[in-house]
Amino acid sequence: MAHTTYRILTGALSAFALLGLSPNALADEGGVSFWVPGFFGSLAATPQQAGWSVAEIYYHTSVAAGGNVALAKEIQIGQIPANLNATLNANVNANVNLGFVAATYVFATPVLGGQASASLLAAYGANSTTLAGSLSGTLTGPGGIGIPFSRFDSIDSSLVAFGDLVPQFALRWNAGVNNYMTYITGDIPVGAYDSMRLANLGLGHGAIDAGGGYTYFNPQTGHEFSGVLGFTYNFTNTATQYQNGVDMHFDWGASQFLTKQIQVGLVGYVYREIGCDSGSGDRVGCFQSQVASIGPQVGFIIPLGDRMQGYLNLKSYWEFAAENRPSGWNTWLTFSLSSKTPEPPPAATPTYHK
């Protein structure tokens, strides 16, 4: 597979690698994290073509949870009084459909011996979340008197709006079949968010995320493997006085190019909150969450004239081993448009003289 082809591909793939969204049913406060696992995938660390590229992404997730997650959501939206010692037998379900536009500029001038890129992502879409179940416990009244309490809750919340903005800066280095990258990104909390609403598209607080990755890619054989490890620091949600702990995430992708235009493989991720939640609004304790996933991917390169080229990628994740976090499945459909790398001119035929 030609070096030119994979430069075009990496611009496409990395464009949807920076998706910072927070559909409000994904642990952390109420089971919601800044980092949506699956951001990074195949060819994450390989070089890109200099100049502008743009990616459009359709993202769907369908998740559910009960127990601690449902209880945390009820506490977050103010449905459980502070003087109530209660247990909740309920489930929360969410279906989220989002569209993203990610613009990336790759600098031609090297930075620290590597290739620099800057990106910005914006999101718009719909979140439909429901919570239903029974709540029972004891209210603490005046003088510490316990008052029996019982209630059935059925909450439906839906929203169509804009999400937060997510900028990203990255550096990439290439050494033959070995590729390295580092990145920093974060959340600008300007999306639709209301601490008393079950469904949101904004996170409600700022965050900074940074990490590094590696890609092995052999253009001759078409073999590829990528892994990116990162960590998220979350700022306090001033509406709820709740601060999520530090999150750790590892995204990976493995693929084989069957031809110069067709790619197949697997993707997956491991997410784990390694710090405890805190703040005066934290009524659920440490509440560390985790989830893992694996699924298939397929990609197609689409020639678009002499100067442009498109890339279409479909990947899906099926989650397992979830704790304090809704789990289910999610699908990403991405189309990226970027310029072609100019092909080198053919070598001149040598002329021999007697």
Whether 353 is in a domain gets the answer no
- Residue 351 included in any domain: no
Res 91: pLDDT = 80
146 located within any domain = yes
Report the predicted TM-score, pTM, of the whole model to 2 decimal places: 0.83
Range name among 119-128, 139-148, 150-159, 262-271 with the lowest pLDDT average: 139-148
At 3, list the tokens. Answer: 């070096």
321 touches 290 (CB < 8 A): yes
pLDDT value of residue 12? 45
Residue 264 domain-assigned (yes or no): yes
The Cα 55–Cα 19 span in angstroms is 11
151-156-162 Cα angle (round to 5)? 140
Residues 82-138 have pLDDT tens digits of 655 666 667 888 899 999 999 999 999 999 999 999 999 999 999 998 887 766 666
Tell me the mean pLDDT in the region 231-243: 92
Least confident residue range of 8-17, 34-43, 310-319: 8-17
User: For residue 61, what is the domain's CATH number?
Assistant: 2.40.128
> How many Cα atoms sit within 13 Å of 12 on the Cβ side?
25
**Average pLDDT value for the chain:** 83
Q: Does residue 240 lie in a domain region?
A: yes
Is the residue at 344 inside a domain?
A: no
- Asked whether residue 276 is assigned to any structural domain, the reply reads yes
Could you tell me if residue 252 is inside a domain?
Answer: yes
Please give the DSSP secondary-structure letter assigned to residue 280. T
Residues 6+ positions from 131 with CB-CB distance below 8 Å:
70, 73, 74, 90, 91, 92, 93, 153, 154, 155, 198
Counting every residue written for the chain, the total comes to 354
Question: Residue 223: CA atoms inside 13 Å, Cβ hemisphere, count?
Answer: 5
- Identify the domain containing residue 253 by its residue range: 3-339
Using the predicted structure, report yes or no on whether residue 16 has a pLDDT greater than 50. no
Average pLDDT over residues 180-204: 92
3-state secondary structure of 337: strand
CA distances from 236 to 68, 187, 193 (A): 21, 13, 14
**What CA–CA distance (Å, rounded) separates 198 from 130?**
8
Structurally, the chain folds into a number of domains equal to 1
